[in-house]
Amino acid sequence: MTASDKASRPNYNPLTKPAPELWRDPDATPFVVFDGITKKFDDFTAVDNISLNIYKRELFCLLGGSGSGKSTLLRMLAGFEQPTSGRILIDGVDMAGIPPWNRPVNMMFQSYALFPHLTVENNVGFGLRREGMAEADVKRRVKDILDMVQMGHLARRKPHQLSGGQRQRVALARSLVKRPKLLLLDEPLGALDKKLREETQFELMNIQDELGVTFIVVTHDQEEAMTLATRIGVMNNGEVVQVGEPHDIYEYPGSRYVAQFIGSVNLLEGQVIVDEADEVKIQSADAGCILHVNHGISCAPNQTVHVALRPEKIQISHHAPEQTENCMQGVIEDIAYMGSLSVFRVRLNSGKEIRVTQPNFARDMGARFTWEDRVYLHWDIDSSVVLTV
C-alpha cells in the first residue's frame, strides 16, 4: 500500500501513534487473562493449564501445529467451549457463565461462515441489528465498513456470488462492524493464494492500527505469525511453550521445539566445558570444534546441551578463517539456487549435515561454490543460542 492509498481511505488518522508495547511494562494491566485454563474432552486434554496475558492493541498470534490446542483456546475465549478449570478474564471481567452472544468479542471464522441466505449488507448488519440499533445507523455503519474493505459495490450480492478473497473481506467487515474490544481470527489467511495472502496480511495490520482493536490470531503458518504478530505464543500439545516478540522467538528460542518450529535451524550437540555468567564453551563431536556462545546458561554440570545455529548466520568460505572456535569443516553436498539466496547442504567431517544460506548479493555467486568443494563454516559468538531443553 502506498502512502496515497492509505491517505485516501476513510477513517485514516495520520496522528495515530504505533501501539505502545504494553507487555514490556511490568505495571500494565493485561486486557485478556487466561488463568490456569484447562480443557478436557473425556480423557483427552486439549489445553493443559495455560496462563497467558495479552495486552491492549496487541496483534497476538497463537502459533502451533494441529492438535496443539490453539483453536480450542480461541473457542473458549469466544464462548463456544467451557473450560474444565481456570478463569478467563476480558478487561477485568470474568467470562464464566457468559454466553457467546453477550461477550465483547467477535470472531472471524476460518470458513468465513457467511450466512448464505443473506446479502453482503445483511450479513454485515446482522450483529448490529441484534444490538437493537436504529435502522438508519445500521445502514450507515455497514456502508462505512464495506467501503473500508473495498466491498461497497458488492453490497447486494449473496455469498455464493463472491470469490474467496471477497468473502474473506466481508467476513472481516462483519466481525469489525460491531467495534468489538477483542477480535479473534481463526486461520484468517489459510484459504488464500500466496499473493492475496501477502496483501491481506498488510491490510489486517493496517486495519488493526487504525481501529485500535486487540487481535488474537490463530495460525499454523509461522511466516504468517512472524509477519503479523506483535507477540507470538508458540503452542504444543496443549501448552504454551514460549511467548515473545517475533524477533525474540526467532533469535532466542527457548527450546529445540521452538527452534525447529520457526524457520530452519542447525542443532549441534555437545557438553559444556566452560560455564561462566556471560559466556559458555561447549565441546561438540558433531561440530568437530569448540562452540563459543556469549550468554550464560543454567544447567547441570556435564549436561548435554544443543547449540542452535540459524543457516543465515553462517559464513562459508574456501579458506580457513582465523578463529578455531565456532569453525567447522565439511564438503558441499548440495546447492539449491532460490533466486534471492542460495542454500548449501554441507556434510561435516563428523558426518553431520549443516544447512547454510547465503544471499546472492552478486550475480556470480553460483560460480564461487560448487558441489564437492571443501569449505569452512564459521560464525560469531553472538550468532547462536544454547538450548538446555
Partner 1 sequence: MQRRSYFLNISATLGFIFLYIPIISLIIYSFNKSKLVTVWGGWSWQWYVELFKNDQIMDAAMLSIKIAFISACLAVVLGTMAGFALTRMGRFRGKMLLSGWISAPLVMPEVITGLSLLLLFVAMESMFGWPAGRGTLTIIIAHTTFCMAYVAVIVQSRLSDMDESLEEAAMDLGAKPSTLFFLVTLPLIAPAIISGWLLSFTLSLDDLVIASFVAGPGDSTLPMVIFSKVRLGITPEINALATLMIAVVAVGVVVAMLQLRRTEKSRVEE
Partner 2 sequence: MSKLPGYALVGRILARRNLTFNRFAAFNPGRKAVISIPFFWLAVFFFIPFLVVFKISFSESDIAIPPYTSLFTWDADEAYATLTLYLGNYAYLIEDSFYLDAYLSSIKIAAISTIITLIVGFPMAYLIARSQGSKRLILLSLVILPFWTSFLLRVYAWMALLKKNGVVNDMLMALGMIDEPVRMLQTDFAVYIGIVYTYLPFMILPLYAVLEKMDLTLIEAAEDLGCHPIQSFFLVTVPLAMPGIVAGCLLVFIPVVGEYVIPALLGGSDTLMIGRVLWDEFSLNRNWPMASAVAIVMLVVLVLPIMFLRNRVGNKESI
List residues near partner 2 by CB under 8 A. 41, 80-82, 97, 99
165 binds partner 1 (CB under 8 A): no
Choice between 92 and 99, CB closer to partner 2: 99
330 binds partner 1 (CB under 8 A): no
Q: Which of 162, 204, 259, 268 binds partner 1 (CB under 8 A)?
A: 162
Q: Which of 100, 152, 165, 263 binds partner 1 (CB under 8 A)?
A: 100
C-alpha cell at 129: 441489528
Choice between 42 and 131, CB closer to partner 2: 42
Only one of the segments 1-9, 101-109, 201-209, 257-265 lies at the binding site for partner 1 (rule: CB under 8 A); that segment is 101-109
- Which position has the grid cell 474467496? 164
174 binds partner 1 (CB under 8 A): yes
Q: Which of 126, 252, 257, 376 binds partner 1 (CB under 8 A)?
A: 126
Write the CA distances from 325 to 149, 289, 307, 318, integer angstroms: 54, 6, 13, 17
Angle at 192 between CA 189 and CA 197, to 5 degrees: 65
Q: State the sign of the Cα–Cα–Cα–Cα dihedral 172, 175, 179, 180.
A: negative
192 binds partner 1 (CB under 8 A): no
Report in angstroms how near the CB of residue 100 gets to partner 2 at its nearest.
8
Choice between 100 and 311, CB closer to partner 2: 100
Choice between 131 and 322, CB closer to partner 1: 131
Helices (runs of H) and strands (runs of E) counted in the chain: 10, 20
Choice between 82 and 294, CB closer to partner 2: 82
3-state secondary structure 147-200: HHCCCHHHCCCCHHHCCHHHHHHHHHHHHHCCCCCEEEEECCCCCCCHHHHHHH
Give which of 249, 239, 224, 220 is closest to 69, Cα–Cα. Answer: 239
Identity of the residue numbered 300? A
Q: Which of 41, 80, 202, 371 binds partner 1 (CB under 8 A)?
A: 80
Report in angstroms how near the CB of residue 98 gets to partner 2 at its nearest.
9
178 binds partner 1 (CB under 8 A): yes
Only one of the segments 102-110, 248-256, 321-329, 345-353 lies at the binding site for partner 1 (rule: CB under 8 A); that segment is 102-110
- d(Cα 389, Cα 383) in Å, to the nearest integer? 19
Crossing angle of the two packed helices 164-176 and 120-130, in degrees rounded to 10: 20
78 binds partner 1 (CB under 8 A): yes
- d(Cα 309, Cα 265) in Å, to the nearest integer? 6
Report in angstroms how near the CB of residue 154 gets to partner 1 at its nearest.
12
C-alpha cell at 82: 467451557
Residues lying near partner 1 in the complex (CB under 8 A) are found at: 78-80, 99-102, 105-107, 109-111, 113-117, 126-127, 130-131, 160-163, 174-175, 178
